[in-house]
């Protein structure tokens, strides 16, 4: 999760410096955290069935 925040936050920081804005780093951090959380849930978030298997 840290890598996603750093990657997209860094991309937002670079875009801020290039465009002269000050809000893209925050958007990048939020997007990075969201995508990282999605990846973790996709990888480990399956729920086993509660019905008994026969």
For 24, the domain range is 2-43
Residue 26 lies in a domain: yes
- 42, 44, 46, 50: CA torsion to nearest 10: -170
pLDDT at 51 over 80: no
Residue 9 lies in a domain: yes
- Terminal-residue alpha carbon distance, the chain: 39
Q: What percent of the chain has pLDDT over 70?
A: 87
Residue 19 lies in a domain: yes
Q: How many Å is the Cα radius of gyration of the chain? A: 17
For 16-41, the three-class secondary structure string (H helix, E strand, C coil) is: HHHHCCCCHHHHHHHHHHHHHHHHHH
Tell me 10's DSSP state: H
pLDDT at 6 over 70: yes
Tally of domains within the chain = 1
Across 21-39, average pLDDT? 94
């Amino acid at each position: 999760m840290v890598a996603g925040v750093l990657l997209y936050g860094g991309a937002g920081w670079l875009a801020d410096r290039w465009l002269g804005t000050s809000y893209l780093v925050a958007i990048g951090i939020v997007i990075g955290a969201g995508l990282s959380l999605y990846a973790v849930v996709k990888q480990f978030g399956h729920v086993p069935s509660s019905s008994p298997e026969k």
